[in-house]
Each structure stands twice: as structure tokens, then as C-alpha cells.
Amino acid sequence: MNQPDWNRDAVAAAIEGLQDKPGALLPILHAIQDALGHIPPDSVPLIAKALNLSRAEVHGVISFYHYFRETPPGRHTIHLCRAESCQSMNSAGLEAHAKASLGIDFHQTSADGAFSLEPVYCLGNCACSPALAIDGEVYGRVSPERFDEIVGEVRAQA
Amino acid sequence: MSTKIYVPSDSGALSLGAEKVAQAILREAAARNIDIHLVRNGSRGLYWLEPLVEVETANGRVAYGPVRTGDVAGLFDAGFLGGQQHGLWQGRTGEIAYLEKQERLTNARVGITDPLSLDDYLAHEGYKGLKNVLAMAPADIVKEVTDSGLRGRGGAAFPTGIKWNTVLNAPAERKYVVCNADEGDSGTFSDRMIMEGDPFVLIEGMTIAGLAVGATQGYIYLRVEYPHAHKNLNAAIAAAYQAGYLGGNICASGKAFDLEVRLGAGAYVCGEETALLESLEGKRGMVRFKPPLPAIQGLFGQPTVINNVISLASVPIILDRGGAYYRDFGMGRSRGTLPIQLAGNIKRPGLVEKAFGITLRELLYDYGGGSASGRPIRAVQVGGPLGAFVPESQFDTPLDYEAFAANWAVLGHGGVVVFDDTVDMARMARYAMEFCAIESCGKCTPCRIGSTRGVEVMDKIIHDENRAQNIRLLRDLGDTMLAGSLCALGGMTPYPVLSALNHFPEDFGAPKAPETA
């Protein structure tokens, strides 16, 4: 997979700025994903070389953590909470509604490229269940109707 | 003089529209040509009233909530700037029953101060603990913490002073203080409230820990799901550096402590301390064998204090008022206070910081007001996804580590998730196994394989395939995971699974349990 040159620059900048930190790998991966929305597979050899690791080790770390992704997400990422507190307030119903209205399952991106849907296990908003986050902003007490409103607002911003 | 108005910037309040309310208040004040001073505080923890707007009046702070943008003009019309009556009027904030009876030691400032104002922190007794510590010998600091009876609030409840003493006495050139801010348990949010609502108290607690054990570098390992906490911690750390409370010469004492926030990446198991250390080192979050304990060989192989946010945030008040002051709260071997989080299907969810000894029933009904749905409460899960489900017959158990252990339950990090009578406990047991399978680090077999087999066995039970035989198999599997797992993830998943089976066998197609007290 060919990455445009600016990707390589963003990756190189992330590596260069952080490689001297103790335990630099996670900070570097975060910086790359913050800049590009994902961690391009082509960046793995660069990271490995800079940190004196094998590519397998870097890949192993990326694949271990749910948050890191190697494919580009949609323009917005919805993290829908599946944990117990939200379950007690019918997050299962919200999940079914979200999947049906976006026409996707977890770990997929809607056909128009607007939304990726990811499960999350607790957003720490358990006093306002069920909860979800879109691009890091948390929403609480989300009914299916409120879900449609929020998604409509976010879609209008884009 | 401008009137002070408080609108929380806590992410729970924001999740209910606090930002729009704050903007609406600013707009309305400008349109009416009224001079106001808007403060973005943390949350008081009364989440059914969020967004909770407070006004500073001659008579104290008066609360209104829950406020929607559409209410703002009406609030101005009603004279809320003078604390006047309105449909959303809640009276003086400190006198709201839910808050009035609490014993807020760790959360003393949360919701009251501007979390990012160091001046505010200092004006509310901040850094008094550190001031004392700068004149104390390390062993005396550790002794004060030991005397307070503080036990790890992350869930394992290990005595904090003993852990610190081990690190103090471990000879090494370099030692570390690590804060476990990977608050992954469903139903818990007290770490988040501290980090968003009073980040300086955590910074002060970590600084004291560093001075106590001889560590000069601290890391806060924060979960990536908490972007607001990340922002506030970084801002507060920068302010603390600026004012000389962090860095090479703390308060001109010649002592050093540096602090940095590191982000996790969505792995529940990284809340386990050794997996967390691996992750901080830039590796997969694989659990380590113990021994060696992190206190002897922790981060980068060096002696490391690793404590939960609430443990560390409770340290400043202990060093300010003394260990005896803190120890005087609580019961038995559970000393001090616990920030309890009421979550899930409950009418008045929120933060209740109380001395140990309060019962679940008081929390669920006196504070919580019963279920949000209005249906009977059938079960509560205390202590996160690895905590037992507690039936109504045990609601009079006091919150105390030993009393819960006697019921084969745990207090954990103090999260209480409420379920009404529509809950299917077999489904909850299946979910506990599924969660373990998703989050297992994979190092030990009972957790890695056991959780997947557990989901399969639960599916058979739910679909009535050889039920009696599969229930026996589930118990057997539970024993294997309990006894054979490397850490609490596999080792405690049987708590929710088997407690659900023991207390609610009818949901598993087994005969109903006899009523026991």
C-alpha cells in the first residue's frame, strides 16, 4: 500500500519528536494516529528502526490495543458503550438502533464514509447511561431519538 | 460587581449539554447587559441534576438544575442571579440532602473550585500536605500514611503505607511513582471526577509519594477514553511546574519531582498494575508474574509505587490533617472514606463519598432513590465487571472490605451498578465471560481459553442444552479460572458469573434459590 509523502512526513515527525522518551512506542503510535486517523502499515518499519525493535514487535503492540487501528476511519468515529452500567439502561436497544440506522456493524464504516462504529467498554459516564462518544465528545442518556439528533448534528458539521 | 456563575466542565455534565448552557448564559447576560463571571467547575456529582448551574449569592451558592438551554432566559427573568425561586431551584448547594450528609475528604474541592486555578486550589487548603511533608523525613511521611489505614482504592485494598515502605527501603538509583488512572471498571467514574475536577490534588499526592519513597519521576497512566481529564491534567501539571510545585526544586526545597501523563489505548487489562507497567514501557499490556513485586522491580525494573488515583488523591489530606484524622472515619479494617459511584438504572446517580460502614440499602434508596425505571431493584454489581452481583437479601451489608469478602463479593473501586427486575442474569453471566475473552491479555490459559469456553457453556445453558451438566461444567470452569489465572481479570471473572448463578439460579433454568438472609 502506497502512502502519500505527507503521511511519511507526519510519521517521521512523530517518531523524531518522541523517540527519546522512555517507553516511547505508545506515545509515538498515539501521535501518528492523532495526525492521520490511523497507523499506516507502512509506518511500522520506520518506527521499528527508530526504536530498535522488530517490525513484529511494533505490529504486536498495535494489534494488542483496541484503540489503535491500521485502516482509516470514517470522518467521525462513534464509540458506543457496551458495559454493564449502560446495559442496565438498555444500551442493547441503542446498539441495535445505531447499527440499523447507520447500516453497519461494529468495526465498520458507513457507506458514505461519515461514521465508523466501535464498541467501547466504559466511558466513565455511568451516571448518565447509556453513553457514547463521537470524536472524543461524550453524550449521556442517549435514547434512539437522541442518537438520531446527535448524529444529524455531527453530520451537519462535517 | 459581577456575579459568579458556575457551569461544570466535567465530561458527564458536558455529555448532557453543559457547554451549550454555558454559552447560552454568556449570550443572555450580554444581551441583558449584565456583568457575570462564568467559572467552569468540576461536577458536584449530582448527575440527575446536571447540567447543574450555581450562582454565588450573598447567601452562599444556590443551585439550579437540570438546566437546558431553553431554561436560561427564564432563569434570568426569575432573578436567579440573586438566588431567586424558579422551577429548577434546588436551594443552597451545600444543603442538598444528597450532598449535605456526605463526608468529602478526597473530593473536598471537586465541584467547588475552578479545577485549573492553582490560586483556587491554594485558597481551599491545597498544598498544605506538601508543605508539611517538605519538613519531614521520608520514613515519617510513610508512617503517617500507614497510620491513616489507607488501603488501595483501585480494588485490591492493599495497605498503601506498607507498599510505600517497601519502595522506601528498596535501594536504587532511580525509583518511580506511577498513578493507575486506567479507570476501566463499568460503573466507576470517581478517578475521572478527580482528574477533571481537582487535578492538583492528584499532582500533590504523587509529589508527596515521590518525596516519601525517594522517587523523582512520576507517570500518570491515563485511559484514552478520558480526553477531558487528559487536557485538565496537562494544564494543571504545566501550572504546577510554572509555580515551582513540580520540577527540580520543589518549593525551593532542593527536592525534585517530575510528572508526565501517558495515554493507554483501550485495553482493560492495563488497569492491572503489571500490565500497566509493561504498557508504560511501550509493550503489549501483558501481565507479569509476581514476584518480583513492582515495589521491588517495577517500571523499567526499578522500585515503583503504583497506586490508584483515589489512593494518591487521599494522601494530601492525610499529610495535612494527620493519619489519625483520616483513620477516625470508617469501620473495622476499612478506614477513611470511599467515593462510591451510583450508576446504571438508578434515579439519582452520582458520587457519594462516605466513611466505610454505610449499607448498600442506604445508598440505593436514601441516596439513589430506587431505580430509574421505577421497577424493583433486583441486583447490583459492586466493584466493576469483576465484582459479584449482590441480591436484595444482602443489601444491608455495610460497605467494608471484609464484610463484602464474607459474602463472596468485593468493593473494588466503589462502583455500584443497579439493575431492575428486567435483567436476565444468565445474559449478564455470559457477558462477563465475553468481556474477559475480549480483554484477556492472553498470557495465562485459564483466562485466555477459559473465558471463550465460558461463553460457549453459557450459550448452551441459555439455549437449554444439557443444562444440569453444563451448569456443573460452568462451576468447574469457574474454579479453574479462580485458582489458576495469573491476575484478577481471569481470576475474578467467576465472581459475576457464579454470583449470578448462585443468587439467581432461576435465570439459568435451575431451581430458584431458597430465601436466605
Domain positions in chain A? 5-64, 76-157
Q: Among A114, A151, A111, which residue's Cα sits nearest to residue A132?
A: A151
Q: Nearest CA of chain A to the CA of B282: how many Å?
A: 4
- Interchain pair A65, B265: CB under 8 A: yes
B17 CB neighbours in chain A (<8 A) are: none
Give me the residues of chain B with pLDDT under 70, please: 513-517
Share of chain A above pLDDT 90, in %: 94
- Interchain pair A27, B415: CB under 8 A: no
Check: CATH 3.40.30.10 for A76-157?
A: yes
Instruction: Measure the CA–CA gap between B57 and B38, rounded to whole angstroms.
Output: 14
Instruction: Measure the CA–CA gap between B323 and A26, rounded to whole angstroms.
Output: 38
- Torsion sign over Cα B445, B446, B451, B454: positive
Name the residue facing B47 among A87, A120, A127 (closest C-beta).
A127
B225 CB neighbours in chain A (<8 A) are: 79, 120, 122-124, 133
| pTM beyond 0.95 | yes
Instruction: Measure the CA–CA gap between B299 and B177, rounded to whole angstroms.
Output: 9
Q: Which pLDDT does position B241 carry in this prediction?
A: 98
Torsion of CA B390, B391, B396, B397, to 10 degrees: -30
pLDDT tens profile A9-63: 999 999 999 999 999 999 999 999 999 999 999 999 999 999 999 999 999 999 9
Name the residue facing B343 among A30, A68, A85 (closest C-beta).
A85
Cβ atoms of B463 and B457 closer than 8 Å: no
Residue with cell string 470511599: B338
- Interchain pair A128, B50: CB under 8 A: yes
How far is CA A70 from each of CA A10, A28, A44, A61, rounded to the nearest angstrom?
15, 14, 10, 12
Q: Nearest CA of chain B to the CA of A83: how many Å?
A: 6
How large is the C-alpha radius of gyration of chain A?
18
What angle, 0 to 180 degrees and rounded to 10, lies between the N-to-C axes of helices A25-36 and A43-51?
150
- Interchain pair B350, A127: CB under 8 A: yes
Which grid cell sits at B209?
Answer: 509519594
Name the residue facing A136 among B227, B264, B341 (closest C-beta).
B227
Class of domain A5-64: mainly alpha
Cβ atoms of B352 and B98 closer than 8 Å: yes
Neighbours of B86 (CB within 10 A): 18
N- to C-terminal Cα separation, chain A: 27
pLDDT tens profile A89-126: 999 999 999 999 999 999 999 999 999 999 999 999 99
How far is CA B63 from each of CA A19, A74, B10, B150, B192, rounded to the nearest angstrom?
49, 41, 16, 33, 23
- Interchain pair B423, A84: CB under 8 A: no
B300 CB neighbours in chain A (<8 A) are: 22-23
Q: Nearest CA of chain B to the CA of A6: how many Å?
A: 25
A125 CB neighbours in chain B (<8 A) are: 11-12, 15, 189
Name the residue facing B283 among A27, A61, A86 (closest C-beta).
A61
A133 CB neighbours in chain B (<8 A) are: 225
Chain A residue with Cα closest to B191: A124
- Interchain pair A64, B428: CB under 8 A: no
B192 CB neighbours in chain A (<8 A) are: 124
User: What is the count of residue pairs from A and B with beta carbons less than 8 Å apart?
Assistant: 154
Chain B residue with Cα closest to A64: B284
Q: Among B212, B193, B144, which residue's Cα sits nearest to residue B350?
A: B193
- Interchain pair A84, B385: CB under 8 A: yes
- Interchain pair A128, B184: CB under 8 A: no
- Torsion sign over Cα B286, B288, B293, B297: negative
| Domains parsed from chain B with CATH numbers | 3-100 (3.40.30.10), 118-326 (3.40.50.11540), 329-420 (3.10.20.600), 425-508 (1.20.1440.230)
Instruction: Measure the CA–CA gap between B210 and B142, rounded to whole angstroms.
Output: 11
What's at B98, amino acid-wise? Y
Chain B residue with Cα closest to A58: B283
Name the residue facing B12 among A30, A51, A127 (closest C-beta).
A127
Q: Is residue A4 predicted with pLDDT exceeding 70?
A: no
Name the residue facing B385 among A83, A131, A133 (closest C-beta).
A83
Neighbours of B462 (CB within 10 A): 18
B284 CB neighbours in chain A (<8 A) are: 60-61, 64
H helices, E strands: number in chain B? 22, 16
What's at A97, amino acid-wise? H
pLDDT tens profile B68-122: 999 999 999 999 999 999 999 999 999 999 999 999 999 999 999 999 999 999 9
How far is CA A9 from each of CA A14, A24, A36, rounded to the nearest angstrom?
9, 18, 11
Mutation to test the A interface, candidates B9, B11, B279, most A Cβ within 10 Å: B11
Name the residue facing A126 among B284, B344, B420 (closest C-beta).
B344
- Interchain pair B186, A86: CB under 8 A: yes
Enclosing H/E stretch for B482: helix B467-484
Name the residue facing A120 among B11, B225, B418 (closest C-beta).
B225
Q: Which pLDDT does position B517 carry in this prediction?
A: 41
Prior bond to B66 cis, omega within 30?
Answer: yes
Close Cβ partners of B30 (under 8 Å, ≥ 6 residues apart): none
Name the residue facing A66 among B267, B280, B341 (closest C-beta).
B267
Q: ipTM score of the complex?
A: 0.96
What's at A34, amino acid-wise? D
Cβ atoms of B392 and B363 closer than 8 Å: no
Instruction: Measure the CA–CA gap between B416 and B239, rounded to whole angstroms.
Output: 35
A107 CB neighbours in chain B (<8 A) are: none
Share of chain B above pLDDT 90, in %: 98
Enclosing H/E stretch for A32: helix A25-36
Mutation to test the B interface, candidates A19, A26, A153, most B Cβ within 10 Å: A26
Q: Among B513, B185, B194, which residue's Cα sits nearest to residue B353?
A: B194
A127 CB neighbours in chain B (<8 A) are: 12, 45, 47-48, 189, 341-343, 349-351
